[in-house]
C-alpha cells in the first residue's frame, strides 16, 4: 500500500493526479485523516494500514512565519512529524520518500553547484527544521530517499508563477530580485522523479532534484510574463527585506539524479508544460 502524507498540498495533489493517471492505488492523508505530529496516531495508522511505500509530502512551508509566529508549528510538523513518520516506516518495513529543500544550504558556495555531499548550514528556521527532518529520516529509517528540491511551482496551490500572473493583472510595472540564483522545479517532474526512484529501486540515500539550468527570480518572472504586457525590472534583494534569510545561491547539482537515467527538462520547458 502506498501512503501519501500532505496529500492536499501542492506536491501531494500533483502526486495523486500522477498515480491516478497510472491507475496506481494509494491512501491519501492530510491533517484530518492523519495528524503526523501525534506519534500514537501515526503508529496506529501504520499498524492498521500497513503501508509499504510512504511519500512524505506533509510540511510546514511558511518560510517567513517560521521565524516567529509559526516557529513552534514549523518544529512540530517538519521535525517531530517527520520523526514519527520515519519511526513508523521503519517499524512496518516501508520505504520512505522525504522531500527536503535547498534552504538546508547557506548559499555562499563559490565553486559550482551544491552536491548531495556538501555540508548543510541552514540560515533560516524553515531550512533548519527541514534539515533536522532529514537527520530524523537518516537516524530512524533504513530504506529512505531524501529528495532536496528548490523553487517549487505547479498548477495546484500558491506559488511564484501564480503570484506573478496575479500581480501583472493590476500592475503595469513589477520589480523582481535578480541577485538570488537557483533552479525552479515543476511539481509534475518532481512527482515523476519520486515514482521513478522507487520503481527503479535506486540506491537509498540523498538526491537533488529540480529542473535543469539555473536562473534568478527576475529571469523566472520574465519568462512567466513574456507574453503579458507588463514591464519587469530587476532589483537587488535589499529592496525586499524578508524575515527569513534566503540563500543567495542555491543551485542544486543534479548529476546523481541524471545518473539514474531520468531525463530532466529545463525549467523553461517545465514552465511551458505547466502553463499549457
126-155, pLDDT tens digit by residue? 999 999 999 999 999 999 999 999 999 999
In sequence order, the β-bridge partners of residue 249 are 181
Residue 10: strand pairing partners: none
> Which pLDDT does position 239 carry in this prediction?
86
pLDDT at 30: 95
HEC-encoded secondary structure of the chain: CEEEECCCCHHHHHHHHHHHHHCCCCEECCCCCCCCCCHHHHHHHHHHHCCCEEEECCCCCCCCHHHCCCHHHHHHHHHHHHHHHHHHHHHCCCEEEEEEEHHHCCCCCCCCCECCCCCCCCCCHHHHHHHHHHHHHHHHCCCEEEEEECCEECCCCCCHHHHHHHHHHHCCEEEEECCCEECCEEHHHHHHHHHHHHHHCCCCEEEECCCECCEEHHHHHHHHCCCCCCEEEEECHHHCCCCCCCCCECCECCHHHHHCCCCCCEHHHHHHHHHC
Task: Please write the tens of the pLDDT for every residue from 153-211.
Answer: 999 989 999 999 999 999 999 999 999 999 999 999 999 999 999 999 999 999 999 99
* Residue 20 burial (10 A CB sphere; 0-12, 13-18, 19+): exposed
Which class for 100: exposed (0-12), middle (13-18), buried (19 or more C-beta within 10 A)?
buried
What local confidence, expressed as pLDDT, does residue 8 receive?
96
Give the model's confidence band at 7: pLDDT under 50 very low, under 70 low, under 90 confident, else very high: very high
Number of neighbouring beta carbons within 10 Å of residue 49: 13
CA distances from 151 to 4, 154, 209 (A): 21, 10, 11
pLDDT given at position 241: 86
pLDDT tens for 211-247 read 999 999 999 999 999 999 999 999 999 888 899 999 9
Let me know if 126 is a catalytic residue: yes
Residue with cell 541577485: 179
**53-56 and 95-101 strand pairing:** parallel
Percent of the chain with pLDDT over 70: 100
244 Cα distance to chain centroid: 17
Catalytic residue (choose from 60, 98, 114, 126): 126
Please write the tens of the pLDDT for every residue from 26-77.
Answer: 999 999 999 999 999 999 999 999 999 999 999 999 999 999 999 999 999 9
Identify which of 142, 137, 145, 134 has the alpha carbon closest to the alpha carbon of residue 97.
145
CA distance 80 to 85: 9
Contact 191, 262 (CB under 8 A): no
Compute the mean pLDDT over every residue in the chain, rounded to the nearest whole number. Answer: 97
Output the pLDDT for position 240. 84
CATH architecture group of domain 2-159+183-213+251-265 = 3-Layer(aba) Sandwich (3.40)
| Residue 255 burial (10 A CB sphere; 0-12, 13-18, 19+) | exposed
* All cell numbers assigned to 187: 511539481
Q: What is the pLDDT of residues 92-136, one digit of tens each?
A: 999 999 999 999 999 999 899 999 999 999 999 999 999 999 999
Amino acid at each position: 500500500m502506498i501512503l501519501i502524507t500532505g496529500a492536499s498540498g501542492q506536491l501531494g495533489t500533483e502526486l495523486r493526479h500522477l498515480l491516478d493517471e497510472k491507475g496506481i492505488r494509494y491512501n491519501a492523508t492530510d491533517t484530518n485523516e492523519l495528524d503526523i505530529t501525534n506519534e500514537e496516531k501515526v503508529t496506529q495508522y501504520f499498524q492498521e494500514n500497513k503501508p509499504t511505500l510512504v511519500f512524505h509530502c506533509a510540511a510546514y512551508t511558511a518560510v517567513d512565519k517560521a521565524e516567529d509566529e509559526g516557529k513552534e508549528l514549523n518544529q512540530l510538523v517538519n521535525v517531530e512529524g517527520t520523526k514519527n513518520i520515519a519511526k513508523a516506516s521503519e517499524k512496518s518495513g516501508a520505504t520512505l520518500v522525504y522531500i527536503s529543500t535547498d534552504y538546508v544550504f547557506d548559499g555562499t558556495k563559490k565553486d559550482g553547484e551544491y552536491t548531495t555531499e556538501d555540508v548543510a548550514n541552514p540560515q533560516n528556521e524553515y531550512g533548519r527544521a527541514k534539515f533536522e527532518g532529514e537527520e530524523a529520516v537518516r537516524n530512524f529509517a533504513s530504506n529512505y530517499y531524501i529528495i532536496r528540491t528548490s523553487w517549487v511551482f505547479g498548477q495546484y496551490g500558491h506559488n511564484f508563477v501564480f503570484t506573478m500572473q496575479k500581480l501583472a493583472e493590476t500592475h503595469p510595472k513589477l520589480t523582481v530580485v535578480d541577485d538570488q540564483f537557483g533552479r525552479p522545479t515543476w511539481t509534475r517532474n518532481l512527482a515523476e522523479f519520486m515514482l521513478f526512484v522507487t520503481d527503479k529501486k535506486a540506491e537509498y540515500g540523498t538526491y537533488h532534484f529540480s529542473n535543469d539550468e539555473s536562473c534568478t527570480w527576475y529571469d523566472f518572472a520574465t519568462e512567466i510574463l513574456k507574453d503579458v504586457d507588463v514591464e519587469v525590472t530587476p532589483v537587488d534583494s535589499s529592496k525586499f527585506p524578508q524575515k527569513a534569510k534566503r540563500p543567495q545561491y542555491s543551485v542544486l547539482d543534479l548529476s546523481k539524479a541524471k545518473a539514474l537515467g531520468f531525463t530532466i527538462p529545463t525549467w523553461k520547458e517545465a514552465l511551458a508544460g505547466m502553463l499549457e
